[in-house]
């Protein structure tokens, strides 16, 4: 339907569904609505043909179905999809979270940095204002106190003056903007290190929390909370699984119970379990980081104390790197506090998507339904099948992997989030797979199974059962993310991509031109050029060689050539040369200016001519 159902139609349907839900008092995100629209279209029970154009009536039916599902508060599937959307839009890994926090801090400090780096003060009062901005920058960047805390400001000012007195402001102003920004960061770290050292020496520390002690209490507490919630949801998953297995064995006993709702509830707790495992792994990583930081921080503080001990003066090149190291370690403590707060907040918000469990299946109801039913945990199920494994000789065209014969066995990327590849499509339940039975390598993808029998059945026709799993995911849209089937539904926009699209950062997949070239003949040629296959050609060569045996070479010498040798003589050709016998010269003569007076005569009969010479000499011209 990707050709017929254009993007404009999809946006129209999503917008209409969102408006309908808003009129019913439910304000839903566009990502959630978009996913629900695609999920309803995929569900074969809704009879939307993917190969024909949707009519106006079809679109109205689609909108109504989406609105009904989005407003159904008793639907575990909707809670699971909301949980998946929430987690994808809010969770991020350590590096991305810390990068985002650094970006936020830089944005917060940007006005102060501009005020410091772009100003060119000359008056003493202006210098003092810029210096005070540097104090504010160092305090805010360190995260140890507030600019409104007078005692903290006083400590920062004293520490800054010890490494950067106001007399150096003239030098600072002459620096380039880039150098100013770098020096600001260095000064902030130096001030932070000095304040931490003073706090350790009990000479200050206003507004500085004892982060190591706080983390030592908060991390175990958060880990215990996650463990309790994880154990609780796992127990619920085990009970739902046992109940579904019992229903398949004796359907009449549970005639009043909806297997469809129970499967949706199972997928809900399994998704919740998967997210909690991610958070728990991050909490364990944080605990390990804090242990490492404790050792490094104590060692750095000890080195600094030994360097500073009983010394009135000390060179900056010895102590400044130690202060900077202290500052970096403290920043790592702050990062772990941020990460722990982030994980705790995510875990608390995930609980709201599990509330529907107690509404649909109260504790009393489950207890009564499970009478006489054996509830097995995932560990017990795996332990029961530890002694069995697939016999490789039973399969000619299938590749099976085992721990003792496969390198990096524990690092193989198992399909379906590690659940049994057979039970999902056939039974509609998520059973834990046991890799010890054998991992099937089918088309470069790895599958595990809950029992030897399930492995044998799946291996007879893997493509059939893979398609069954895809069809099951169409009926239960939440399985697309739980079982990591997004590659099977590429036309279904993933939540993470939808989130990036909302931020305007969706990018096309990176592409590049590449080429390869192979030598025509990698090995040197072994062609024998003298080889002949033609018999007559061989005969001709043989006759020629036979005739050569009868040939003689004669030579003679005459008297003129006797005892003569060739002679060679070499002369030097005359070389070109020239002479110059003439040179240009010039001279200047005065320009004569002679005037004659009286040539016309006058009243007197005698003509009197007077000669007037006005010629000027050369040195005057």
What are the structural domain ranges in the chain? 1-71, 119-201, 211-370, 382-497
Query: DSSP of 553-587, one letter per residue?
Result: ------TTTTT--------PPPPP-----------
Span 400-419, average pLDDT:
89
- For the ranges 55-59, 148-152, 192-196, the lowest mean pLDDT is seen at 55-59
C-beta atoms surrounding 285 within 10 Å = 13
Question: What pLDDT score was predicted for residue 230?
Answer: 94
Rounded Cα gap, residues 222 and 230, in angstroms: 12
| Residue 313: pLDDT over 80 | no
| Residue 525: pLDDT over 80 | no
> Residue 510 — very low, low, confident or very high, per pLDDT cuts 50/70/90?
low
Cβ atoms of 1 and 51 closer than 8 Å? yes
Retrieve residue 71's tokens.
């407003």
Sign of CA dihedral 16, 21, 25, 31: negative
Full strand arrangement of the beta sheet holding 439-442: 399-401, 439-442, 445-447
Nearest residue to 275 (alpha-carbon basis) of 343, 368, 360: 343
Rounded Cα gap, residues 176 and 118, in angstroms: 10
Question: What pLDDT score was predicted for residue 312?
Answer: 65
- Identify the DSSP state of 74: T
Residue 7 CA neighbour count, 13 Å, CB half = 2
Question: What pLDDT score was predicted for residue 36?
Answer: 86
Cβ atoms of 366 and 344 closer than 8 Å? no
| Residue 339: pLDDT over 50 | yes
Rounded Cα gap, residues 371 and 253, in angstroms: 12
The helix, strand and coil proportions of the chain, stated in percent and rounded to the nearest 5, come to 60, 5, 35
Span 173-194, average pLDDT:
90
What digits encode the pLDDT tens for the residues 232-279?
999 999 999 999 988 888 877 777 778 888 899 999 999 999 999 999
> Residue 511 — very low, low, confident or very high, per pLDDT cuts 50/70/90?
low
Rounded Cα gap, residues 281 and 507, in angstroms: 30
What digits encode the pLDDT tens for the residues 21-80?
888 888 888 888 888 888 888 887 877 766 667 778 888 888 888 888 888 888 898 899
Q: 3-class SS at 599?
A: coil
What digits encode the pLDDT tens for the residues 414-455?
999 999 999 998 988 999 999 999 999 998 899 999 999 999
Rounded Cα gap, residues 402 and 167, in angstroms: 72
Rounded Cα gap, residues 229 and 232, in angstroms: 5
What digits encode the pLDDT tens for the residues 319-328?
889 999 999 9
- For the ranges 146-155, 220-229, 512-521, the lowest mean pLDDT is seen at 512-521
> Residue 501 — very low, low, confident or very high, per pLDDT cuts 50/70/90?
very low
What digits encode the pLDDT tens for the residues 84-112?
999 999 999 999 999 999 999 999 999 99
Rounded Cα gap, residues 492 and 88, in angstroms: 15
Retrieve residue 477's tokens.
């849209």
Cβ atoms of 287 and 336 closer than 8 Å? no
Nearest residue to 341 (alpha-carbon basis) of 246, 221, 250: 221
| Residue 194: pLDDT over 50 | yes
Rounded Cα gap, residues 262 and 237, in angstroms: 10
> Residue 494 — very low, low, confident or very high, per pLDDT cuts 50/70/90?
very low
> Residue 285 — very low, low, confident or very high, per pLDDT cuts 50/70/90?
very high
Q: Which segments of 351-441 does DSSP mark as H helices, in order?
A: 355-360, 363-369, 378-384, 423-426
| Beta partners for residue 432, in sequence order | 419
Question: What pLDDT score was predicted for residue 282?
Answer: 94
Give ∠ CA 513-515-520 in degrees, rounded to 5: 170
Give the predicted TM-score (pTM) of the model. Answer: 0.74
| Beta partners for residue 610, in sequence order | 597
Rounded Cα gap, residues 233 and 467, in angstroms: 29
| Residue 504: pLDDT over 50 | no
Question: How much is the mean pLDDT over the chain?
Answer: 84
Residue 498 CA neighbour count, 13 Å, CB half = 23
What digits encode the pLDDT tens for the residues 360-391?
888 888 888 888 888 999 999 999 988 899 99
Rounded Cα gap, residues 505 and 497, in angstroms: 9
| Residue 560: pLDDT over 70 | no
Question: What pLDDT score was predicted for residue 468?
Answer: 92
| Residue 562: pLDDT over 70 | no
Cβ atoms of 413 and 247 closer than 8 Å? no
Phi, psi of 182 (to 5 degrees): -65, -40
Sign of CA dihedral 485, 487, 493, 499: positive
Cβ atoms of 329 and 335 closer than 8 Å? no
- Identify the DSSP state of 415: G
Query: DSSP of 431-461, one letter per residue?
Result: PBP-GGG-EEEETTEEE--SSHHHHHHHHHS
Phi, psi of 613 (to 5 degrees): -100, 110
Nearest residue to 163 (alpha-carbon basis) of 187, 137, 131: 187
- Give residue 145's region: left, alpha or beta (phi > 0; psi -120 to 50): left
Nearest residue to 254 (alpha-carbon basis) of 244, 265, 268: 244
Residue 90 CA neighbour count, 13 Å, CB half = 18
Classify domain 211-370 by CATH number. Answer: 1.20.1460
């Amino acid at each position: 339907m990707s050709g017929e159902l254009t993007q404009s139609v999809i946006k129209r349907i999503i917008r209409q569904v969102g408006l309908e839900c808003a009129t019913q008092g439910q304000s839903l995100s566009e990502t959630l609505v978009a996913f629900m629209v695609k999920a309803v279209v995929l569900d074969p029970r809704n009879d939307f043909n993917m190969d024909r154009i949707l009519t106006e009536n079809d679109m109205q039916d689609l909108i109504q179905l989406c609105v009904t599902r989005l407003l159904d508060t008793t639907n575990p599937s909707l809670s699971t999809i909301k949980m998946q959307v929430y987690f994808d839009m809010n969770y991020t890994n350590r590096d991305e979270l810390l990068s985002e926090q650094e970006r936020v801090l830089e944005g917060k400090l940007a006005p102060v940095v501009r005020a410091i780096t772009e100003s060119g003060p000359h008056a003493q009062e202006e210098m003092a204002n810029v210096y005070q901005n540097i104090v504010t920058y160092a305090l805010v960047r360190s995260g140890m106190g507030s600019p409104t805390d007078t005692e903290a400001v006083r400590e920062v000012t004293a520490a800054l003056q010890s490494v950067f007195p106001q007399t150096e402001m003239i030098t600072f102003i002459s620096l380039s903007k880039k150098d100013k920004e770098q020096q600001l960061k260095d000064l902030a770290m130096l001030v932070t290190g000095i304040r931490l050292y003073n706090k350790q020496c009990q000479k200050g520390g206003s507004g500085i929390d004892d982060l190591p002690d706080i983390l030592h209490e908060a991390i175990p507490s958060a880990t215990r909370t996650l463990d309790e919630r994880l154990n609780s949801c796992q127990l619920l998953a085990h009970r739902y699984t046992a109940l579904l297995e019992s229903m398949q064995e004796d359907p009449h006993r549970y005639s009043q119970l909806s297997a469809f709702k129970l499967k949706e509830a199972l997928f809900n707790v399994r998704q919740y379990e998967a997210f909690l495992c991610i958070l728990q792994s991050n909490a364990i990583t944080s605990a390990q980081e804090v242990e490492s930081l404790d050792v490094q921080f104590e060692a750095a503080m000890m080195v600094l104390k030994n360097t500073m001990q009983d010394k009135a003066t000390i060179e900056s090149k010895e102590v400044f790197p130690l202060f900077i190291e202290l500052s970096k370690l403290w920043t790592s403590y702050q990062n772990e506090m941020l990460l722990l707060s982030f994980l705790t907040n995510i875990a608390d918000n995930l609980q709201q998507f599990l509330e529907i469990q107690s509404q649909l299946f109260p504790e009393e109801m489950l207890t009564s339904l499970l009478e006489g039913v054996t509830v097995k945990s995932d560990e017990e199920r795996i332990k029961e099948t530890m002694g069995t494994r697939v016999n490789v000789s039973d399969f000619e065209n299938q590749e099976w992997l085992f721990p003792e014969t496969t390198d990096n066995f524990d690092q193989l990327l198992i399909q379906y989030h590690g659940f049994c590849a057979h039970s999902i499509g056939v039974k509609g339940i998520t059973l834990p797979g046991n890799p010890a039975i054998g991992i099937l390598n089918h088309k470069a993808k790895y599958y595990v199974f809950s029992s030897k029998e399930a492995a044998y059945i799946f291996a007879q026709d893997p493509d059939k059962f893979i398609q069954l799993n895809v069809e099951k995911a169409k009926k239960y849209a939440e399985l697309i993310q739980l079982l990591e089937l997004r590659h099977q539904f590429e036309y279904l926009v993933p939540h993470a991509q939808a989130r990036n699209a909302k931020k305007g950062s969706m990018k096309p997949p990176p592409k590049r031109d590449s080429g390869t070239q192979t030598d025509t003949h990698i090995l040197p040629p072994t062609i024998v050029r003298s080889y002949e296959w033609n018999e007559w050609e061989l005969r001709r060569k043989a006759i020629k060689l036979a005739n050569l045996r009868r040939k003689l070479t004669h030579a003679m010498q005459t008297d003129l050539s006797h005892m003569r040798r060739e002679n060679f003589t070499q002369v030097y050709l005359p070389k070109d040369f020239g002479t110059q016998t003439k040179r240009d010269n010039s001279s200047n003569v005065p320009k004569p200016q002679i005037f004659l007076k009286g040539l016309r005569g006058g009243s007197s009969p005698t003509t009197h001519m007077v000669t007037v010479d006005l010629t000027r000499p050369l040195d005057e011209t």
